[in-house]
């Protein structure tokens, strides 16, 4: 029966006969192929006991199995905790001493020394400048204090003049003016009384003179006295009016002017005092600021001098920054070369890191299409070649916020950085930048029907497999579920134990048949108005992208290619209607 199958396959794949010698050669080749096939099947060893009937190296049975959906990502190790050692100086520094790379240092060990001659000279000059500024500040403080005392004295003297002028005014109003007015009023009243008395006496003298009792001389003396009394009264009245109308206003203005002048002088003194004090205060503030600036400069120089000696803040392994740049493929980095004595270091330039190798993290890069399926807490297996190929368990810690591009080498590549915490113990000798490969478990599938991913093909929207149909194979549409890099879940279309082809068939091995609508609908496909199949709305993962190309990372596992001698014959394409295999 096997020989009949081979003969029939040979007949179907035999090229048309040619005339003459070409026909003879063709017949000879066919006969040799027939004889070889008969010999192969005749002496082929029997399958081992327990093996499923018909299972070969290029066929696999549909089995029930549970599997993990995983993806592989590569990257490098990092220390979860590491300390960056940078140049804290604001100017370039020259290394005069540096610890050897790869050495494990203790906290407090000196790891880098910079040339500090210029800083030391500047520090000495600045100390002298600070002492000078202190002396200037003390002098300015004393000048300010003296000015405060002088201002107080001047203000007190000016205020005394104001007080004296006000007292003089008060004394004049309450004393001199009242006394003067009293005297003038008394003189006028006295003159008035004297005038009345002498007027009455003159009248009596006139009567006595007429009666002959008084001589004319006595009568004339009384008249003279009366005239003098009239003059005295006029003088007293005039003195009172002159005082009220002239002397009093004059004296009043003079006294008030003295008071106003004293007050104006007090104000001038206060203003001058403010000016002088402000000037002294400005000088004091200037000297204080100069002292503060010089002290700050001195403190900075002391800090710079201290920063010329870098000590390890904690225990760690010394890794130079230049090694990190080379490890990351930094084509533009490197600066002035490796970290060594005599090298210039720019401000804030990274010199080295001190990673804590007791707790490591794997930093791997996952394709953008898979990043959405990675979640914190997912398990991972890490393989590290530098650790003798050992594997370590890990758990996803975090996923990068933004995708990173492949740079100028591959601008279309977009990947997310995934941090995986490692469960490690001391003694493995793990170091940062060691290459690692992580197998991330994205999902777990319980027991279900599965086939190898090499058995899945697609034709447009239709996923299908090849099953045996007599001596050849036919296409069987299937509905796929979840899949890993090795197996795919079968939702509809196959039963347990069926054999499927796990290689690309040759053109003569496939029955060229169009899709049957009933077969498509049985596994969930529909046929559109244009007659083209439409994929079912199921969480199936296509074996290949449209066009027959396998998605990146979903090809055949290593060592699972076509069986030897079963490739497609040279020059023979696929039969019409045969799709491309899916991953």
Q: What is the 3-state secondary structure (H, E, C) of 347-359?
A: CCCEEEEEECCCC
Model confidence at 96, in pLDDT bands (50, 70, 90)?
Answer: very high
Mean pLDDT of all residues in the chain? 81
479-483 and 93-98 strand pairing: unpaired
Does 302 have pLDDT greater than 90?
A: yes
Task: Specify which of 4-8, 146-150, 382-386 reaches the highest per-range mean pLDDT.
Answer: 146-150
Does 337 have pLDDT greater than 90?
A: no
Residue 570, pLDDT score: 37
Residue 147, pLDDT score: 94
Does 327 have pLDDT greater than 80?
A: no
Give Cα separations from 283 to 129, 371, 453 (angstroms).
18, 67, 88
- Tell me what the mean pLDDT of segment 488-511 comes to: 92
Model confidence at 19, in pLDDT bands (50, 70, 90)?
Answer: very low
The predicted-structure confidence for 194-228, as pLDDT tens digits, reads as follows 889 989 988 988 888 888 888 888 888 888 998 99
- Determine phi and psi for 170, rounding to 5 degrees: -65, -40
The 8-class DSSP code of residue 82 comes to E
Contact 465, 474 (CB under 8 A): no
- Domain spans of the chain? 1-45, 90-113+310-348, 118-307
Residue 50, pLDDT score: 34
| Calpha distance 235→187 (Å, rounded) | 9
405 Cβ partners below 8 Å, 6+ apart? 411, 413, 414
Residue 39, pLDDT score: 39
Does the pTM of the predicted model rise above 0.85?
no
Residue 483, pLDDT score: 85
The predicted-structure confidence for 116-140, as pLDDT tens digits, reads as follows 999 999 999 999 999 999 999 999 9
Closest C-alpha to 472, from 6, 40, 53: 6
Closest C-alpha to 223, from 201, 207, 190: 201
The predicted-structure confidence for 47-67, as pLDDT tens digits, reads as follows 333 334 456 788 999 999 998
Least confident of 65-79, 304-318, 562-576: 562-576
Residue 328, pLDDT score: 54
- Tell me what the mean pLDDT of segment 375-386 comes to: 90
Model confidence at 325, in pLDDT bands (50, 70, 90)?
Answer: low
| Calpha distance 229→528 (Å, rounded) | 153
Model confidence at 336, in pLDDT bands (50, 70, 90)?
Answer: low
Neighbours of 410 (CB within 10 A): 10
Q: Which residues of 116-129 are buried (b: 16+ CB within 10 A; e: fewer)?
A: beebeebbeebeeb
| Calpha distance 549→580 (Å, rounded) | 8
Q: How large a percentage of the chain has pLDDT more than 90?
A: 47
Model confidence at 558, in pLDDT bands (50, 70, 90)?
Answer: very low
Contact 59, 317 (CB under 8 A): no
| Calpha distance 37→40 (Å, rounded) | 5
Matching CATH number, 118-307, of 1.10.287, 1.25.40, 1.10.860, 1.10.760: 1.10.287
Contact 516, 484 (CB under 8 A): no
Pairwise pLDDT comparison (435 vs 327), residue with the higher score:
435
CA end-to-end span of the chain, whole Å? Answer: 33
Residue 426, pLDDT score: 53
Does 553 have pLDDT greater than 80?
A: no
**Which DSSP helix (H) or strand (E) runs through 275?**
helix 248-307
Residue 59, pLDDT score: 92
Give Cα separations from 268 to 144, 148, 163, 273 (angstroms).
20, 16, 16, 8
Pairwise pLDDT comparison (371 vs 574), residue with the higher score:
371
């Amino acid at each position: 029966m096997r020989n009949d199958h081979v003969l029939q396959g040979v007949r179907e794949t035999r090229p048309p006969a040619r005339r003459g010698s070409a026909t003879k050669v063709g017949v000879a080749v066919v006969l040799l192929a027939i004889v070889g096939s008969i010999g192969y099947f005749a002496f082929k060893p029997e399958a081992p006991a327990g093996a499923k009937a018909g299972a070969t190296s290029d066929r696999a049975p549909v089995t029930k199995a549970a599997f993990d959906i995983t993806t592989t990502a590569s990257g490098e190790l990092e220390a979860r905790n590491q300390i960056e050692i940078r140049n804290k100086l604001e100017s370039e520094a020259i290394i005069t001493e540096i610890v050897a790379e790869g050495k494990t240092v203790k906290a407090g060990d000196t790891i880098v020394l910079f040339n500090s001659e210029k800083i030391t000279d500047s520090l000495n000059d600045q100390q002298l400048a600070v002492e000078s500024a202190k002396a200037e500040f003390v002098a300015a403080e004393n000048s300010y204090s003296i000015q405060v005392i002088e201002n107080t004295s001047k203000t007190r003297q000016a205020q005394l003049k104001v007080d004296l002028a006000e007292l003089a005014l008060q004394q004049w109003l309450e004393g001199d003016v009242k006394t003067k007015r009293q005297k003038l009023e008394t003189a006028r009243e006295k003159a008035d009384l004297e005038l009345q008395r002498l007027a009455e006496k003159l009248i009596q003298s006139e009567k006595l003179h007429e009666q002959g009792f008084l001589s004319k001389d006595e009568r004339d003396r009384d008249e003279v006295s009366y005239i003098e009394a009239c003059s005295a009264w006029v003088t007293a009245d005039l003195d009172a009016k002159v005082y009220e109308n002239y002397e009093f206003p004059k004296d009043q203005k003079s006294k008030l002017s003295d008071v106003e002048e004293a007050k104006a002088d007090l104000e001038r003194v206060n203003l001058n005092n403010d000016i002088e004090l402000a000037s002294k205060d400005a000088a004091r503030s200037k000297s204080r600021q100069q002292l503060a600036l010089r002290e700050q400069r001195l403190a900075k120089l002391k800090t710079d001098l201290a920063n010329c000696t870098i000590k390890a803040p904690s225990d760690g392994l010394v890794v130079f920054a230049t090694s990190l740049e080379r490890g990351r493929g930094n084509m533009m980095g490197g600066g002035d070369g490796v970290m060594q004595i005599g090298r210039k270091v720019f401000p804030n330039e990274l010199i080295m890191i001190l990673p804590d190798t007791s707790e490591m993290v794997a930093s791997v890069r996952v394709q953008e299409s898979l990043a959405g399926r990675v979640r914190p807490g997912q398990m991972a297996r890490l393989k590290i070649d530098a650790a003798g190929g050992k594997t370590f368990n890990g758990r996803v810690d975090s996923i990068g916020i933004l995708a990173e591009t492949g740079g100028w080498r591959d601008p279309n590549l977009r990947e997310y950085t995934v941090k995986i915490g490692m469960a490690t113990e001391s003694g493995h000798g793990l170091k940062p930048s060691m290459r690692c490969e992580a197998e991330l478990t994205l999902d777990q599938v319980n027991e279900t029907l599965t086939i190898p991913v090499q058995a899945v093909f697609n034709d447009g929207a239709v996923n299908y497999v090849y099953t045996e149909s007599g001596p050849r194979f036919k296409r069987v549409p299937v509905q796929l579920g979840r899949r890993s890099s090795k197996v795919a879940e079968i939702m509809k279309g196959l039963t347990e134990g069926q054999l499927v082809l796990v290689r690309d068939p040759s053109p003569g091995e496939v029955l060229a048949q169009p899709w049957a609508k009933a077969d498509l609908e049985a596994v969930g496909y529909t046929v559109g108005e244009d007659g083209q199949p439409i994929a079912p709305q199921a969480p199936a993962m296509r074996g290949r992208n449209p066009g027959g190309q396998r998605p990146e990372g979903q090809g055949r596992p290593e060592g699972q290619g076509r069986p030897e001698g079963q490739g497609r014959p040279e020059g023979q394409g696929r039969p019409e209607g045969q799709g491309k295999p899916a991953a």
